[in-house]
A and B are shown apart, each in its own frame.
Chain A
Amino acid sequence: MVQDRYDVVVIGAGPAGSVAARFAAENGASVLMLERDREPGIPVRCAEGVSHNGITPFIDVDQRWIASRIDVAKLHSPNGETANMHNNGLGYVLERRVFDTALCELAAKHGAHLITKADALDLVWKDGKITGVKYKYSGEIRKVKCDIVIGADGVESRVGRWAGIKTVVRLEDIDTCAQYTLTDIDIEKDTCEFYFGTKVSPGGYIWIFPKSDNTANVGIGLSGHLSHPKGPKEYLDEFVQRRFPEAKITYTMYGGVPTAATLDEIVKDNIMLVGDAARQVNPITGGGVVQAMIAGSIAGKVAAQAVKEKRFDKKFLKEYRKEWNKRLGKTQKTMFLMKEKFMNMNDERFNRIVEFCQKIPRDKFSLKTLFTEAVKGDPKLMIDVAKAFVVSKIKMK
């Protein structure tokens, strides 16, 4: 049964929301999750690539939501050269639909409540303070009281705006994406591929993430300011026609990825934002699942502590921001500065980077080498990149 009052209401049951709910509940808070769609994880708007080390702190690996194991990243330069990277650790291509539900079930197991097809409409205020959430469920407008709202409502986040937080991103800081799941294609099951170049994907890249030995998510992200009038669908169709002319499409999706720095404000009195809603995404790779889970775990723990101490003010909740900055926030900022470089690179530069990567011995070639080479000529950024790799090992996606 849904109660009319909880300590914490989480809006959105993606990885950020479910992990936040789980950690808040596990640490003693009463938690309700509101999910707009009919089930968590759908519609899938994700390339589904994650690293083993990124997800295992939060959930035990289960074959039900692993589509394939990835050992190699293959980079394609604009002039058709390739370089293989073997040292980024084990990765997975997920079945997000199953994965997201599994994360929800974990939250439920720790005591969180969940309702699906529950569309949050607004925050409830009293005397200038957030005291609950208004939502639509089964044709009826309902209100639920709470002390803390966690906004985990994705790229299209409205929760932050309701709270007066500036969430808008620049066109330069969103990747506009199209993706097909293609079948009957010739690929290597353990290899993720990346295509760069201004003709292929201006300001972004094309990816091939295998889901089986003949099926893959093939998608594109273009920087928002370079996606008009020719958009991601047109570029992707051209690529698919060239590389996989015989392919059949089993899934088509469109979406946007915020490739910004974390919002300046992710905490206010009685409210925290997590995941895409807080713009907690690796601005270079566009990967956000692991970032969302890390942010969710911090926010969930801080929420539970706030409940224990009855402190719901911004000053107390700011602990979440502090911890996020320590864990990933600073790294994200460095990646953001690098992204600006990447976005403006010409094809010649991409060619030279891949050429450089080909010459590195297999056991020495990692993302760190790639990124360091990419920012060569900018000593300050080189130092930041080196630091970022000391603080946390960055993985593709």
Chain B
Amino acid sequence: MKINRDLCDICGSCVAVCPADAIVVSEFIVDIDNEKCTNCLNCLKVCPIKAIEEGE
């Protein structure tokens, strides 16, 4: 998964629905660990601003 940083509002919704514990959020940035990611697409679906796309 890949995050479009121009869109991301760092709201953390994606973290709550990630079953693989692959997403980390800090004050200024959200990061997806593609090693852990299982491609379930939950984060992509829940993102209120469509900032997450498929791909690395």
What is A's interface to B at a CB cutoff of 8 Å?
36-38, 45, 117, 119, 154-158, 161, 167-171, 174, 176-178, 224-225, 227-228, 231-233, 253-256, 258
Q: List residues of B (1-45) whose CB comes within 8 Å of A's CBs.
A: 9, 11-13, 15-19, 21, 24-27, 42, 44-45
- B26 adjacent to A119 (CB under 8 Å): yes
- A169 adjacent to B48 (CB under 8 Å): no
Chain A hits for B26, CB < 8 A = 36, 119
Tell which of B12, B16, B21, B46 has the most Cβ of chain A within 10 Å: B16
Across the interface, B48 reaches (CB within 8 A) one of A167, A225, A254, namely: A254
Total cross-chain contacts (CB, 8 A): 88
Across the interface, B27 reaches (CB within 8 A) one of A119, A170, A232, namely: A119
Chain A hits for B49, CB < 8 A = 178, 231, 233, 254
Tell which of A119, A155, A232, A258 has the most Cβ of chain B within 10 Å: A155
User: Can you give 28 A-B contacts (C-beta < 8 A)?
Assistant: A36-B26, A45-B11, A117-B27, A156-B13, A157-B15, A158-B15, A158-B24, A161-B21, A168-B16, A170-B17, A174-B13, A176-B46, A176-B48, A177-B48, A224-B17, A224-B46, A225-B45, A228-B45, A231-B47, A233-B49, A255-B9, A255-B11, A255-B13, A256-B12, A256-B16, A256-B17, A256-B46, A258-B16
- B16 adjacent to A156 (CB under 8 Å): yes
- B27 adjacent to A168 (CB under 8 Å): no
Q: Which residue of A lies closest to B40 (CB)?
A: A171
Chain B hits for A224, CB < 8 A = 13, 17, 42, 45-46
- The number of residues on chain B lying at the interface, defined by a beta carbon within 8 Å of a beta carbon of chain A, is 22
What is B's interface to A at a CB cutoff of 8 Å?
9, 11-13, 15-19, 21, 24-27, 42, 44-50
Tell which of A36, A38, A178, A256 has the most Cβ of chain B within 10 Å: A256
Across the interface, B42 reaches (CB within 8 A) one of A154, A156, A171, A177, namely: A171
Q: Which residue of A lies closest to B48 (CB)?
A: A254
Across the interface, A232 reaches (CB within 8 A) one of B21, B42, B48, namely: B48
Q: In whole angstroms, what is the CA distance A170 to B50 when docked?
A: 18
New A-B pairs, 6, CB < 8 Å, besides A156-B12, A233-B50: A36-B26, A45-B11, A157-B16, A168-B17, A169-B16, A254-B9
